[in-house]
Amino acid sequence: MASDDAAQWREAMDAELLSHERNGTWTLVPRGTANRTIGCRWVFAKKRDQYGRVVRYKARLVAKGFKQKYGIDFFETYSPVANMNSIRVVLSVCAAYEYRMEQLDADTAFLNSELKDRVYMEVPFGIENARDYQYQLNKAIYGLKQAASAWNKTIHRVFLGNGFKSCGADQCVYVKRSKNGFIYVCLYVDDMIIAAKTSEDIREVKDALKNAFKMKELGPAKFILGMEIDHDMTAGTLKIKQTRYIDDVVKRFGQENAKPVDNPCAAGLKLSKTQSPGTDAEQNAMRSKPYRSLIGCLLYITTCTRPDIAFMATQLSRFLENPGQQHWNAAVERTV
């Protein structure tokens, strides 16, 4: 490993392998035990705070789930997450009723889920003296097609067992009544926000989760899913913004020096399919432009914090299949 951060990445890899060992994620079996064996690889990421500062180096061992076959080594894959509208509603409740909010993260969440399907995996880089062996997986390691579904079922049972009910409008928002009011939990895979009137109610939920899983306490909710949360209980205000995410999008699409505009939709602008490429040469010219990626970013920003660009973002999304130069210009030069 030639990276300047090699020592930090190696430490993160060792921590990941140790967590697998403690968790009983796999059983070492002789090579040739199974006809089908999938590979694995390391994925590295730097975890940052709301200011963009690196707070943790994270190494994740991921199975090459794309080699799995339906009906042989996986069956169910669907896993719900909290809707962004639901998260905003809970944030609104916190602002209106002076609820406290704290954030938790389940450490190596998927590894807490028992794997019902029989899956075999190659031994990863970093394990010495294991050339003649392979792993039989006992837990739903990251990358498996059924991993997210297995984790969601596991934590769902824990919430129900601790008196929570899944909200009818959003099954990943859990509600429980306490003597001080209501306790809300928004679950987004392994990230969660706990909202309650008192610190004691929040502590009760934390303790229940810690009895079931290894959890990381992240303190007051300040940054989740790319959104920065500014909750001032003294003033009774709560603001959400995406400053860092939007800055990253602006830089990614080369608009750092663009002039600001008051309206994302230019006066008299009309977009239609007649502006889409009609020849192979025109289509080839547009293939180098990441139109789908840009529209995806704009729609995410719209959903989270900027409904004022919703009309333009949805108009532009009509041309994802065959965007033209005018569609691109309207997206990158005006909306961004």
Provide block-wise average pLDDT over 10 residues at a time, the chain (336 residues): 83 88 89 84 88 87 92 88 95 95 92 89 79 89 93 96 95 96 96 96 97 93 92 92 93 90 87 93 92 96 94 95 94 86
How far apart are alpha carbons 140 and 23 in whole angstroms?
A: 11
CB 81 within 8 A of CB 188: yes
Q: Could you tell me if residue 229 is inside a domain? A: yes
What was the pLDDT predicted at 126? 66
- The strands making up 237-241's β-sheet, listed across from edge to edge, are 223-224, 227-232, 237-241
What was the pLDDT predicted at 132? 83
| Co-location of 214 and 125 in the same domain | yes
Taking the whole predicted model, whether its pTM rises above 0.85 is answered as no
| Co-location of 259 and 185 in the same domain | no
What was the pLDDT predicted at 336? 82
What was the pLDDT predicted at 247? 93
Going by C-alpha positions, the residue among 97, 141, 104 that lies closest to residue 123 is 141
How far apart are alpha carbons 120 and 165 in whole angstroms?
A: 36
What pairs with residue 102 in β-bridges? 194, 220
What was the pLDDT predicted at 312? 95
| Co-location of 97 and 70 in the same domain | yes
CB 304 within 8 A of CB 225: yes
CB 122 within 8 A of CB 136: no
What was the pLDDT predicted at 287? 92
Q: Which of 211, 239, 267 is the last residue of a domain?
A: 239
End-to-end CA distance of the chain: 37
| Co-location of 129 and 257 in the same domain | no
Q: Which of 218, 239, 260 is the last residue of a domain?
A: 239
How many structural domains are present in the chain?
Answer: 2
CB 25 within 8 A of CB 111: yes
> What is the number of other CB atoms lying within 10 angstroms of the CB of residue 166?
16
What was the pLDDT predicted at 249? 94
Domain of 258, in residue numbers: 243-335
Q: Could you tell me if residue 1 is inside a domain? A: no
| Co-location of 86 and 131 in the same domain | yes
How far apart are alpha carbons 283 and 94 in whole angstroms?
A: 49
Q: Could you tell me if residue 87 is inside a domain? A: yes
Helix (H, G, I), strand (E, B) or coil at 20: helix
Q: Which of 205, 239, 273 is the last residue of a domain?
A: 239
| Co-location of 233 and 248 in the same domain | no
How far apart are alpha carbons 106 and 113 in whole angstroms?
A: 12
| Co-location of 202 and 268 in the same domain | no
| Co-location of 230 and 252 in the same domain | no
Cα angle, residue 290 at apex, residues 298 and 242 outer, rounded to 5°: 25
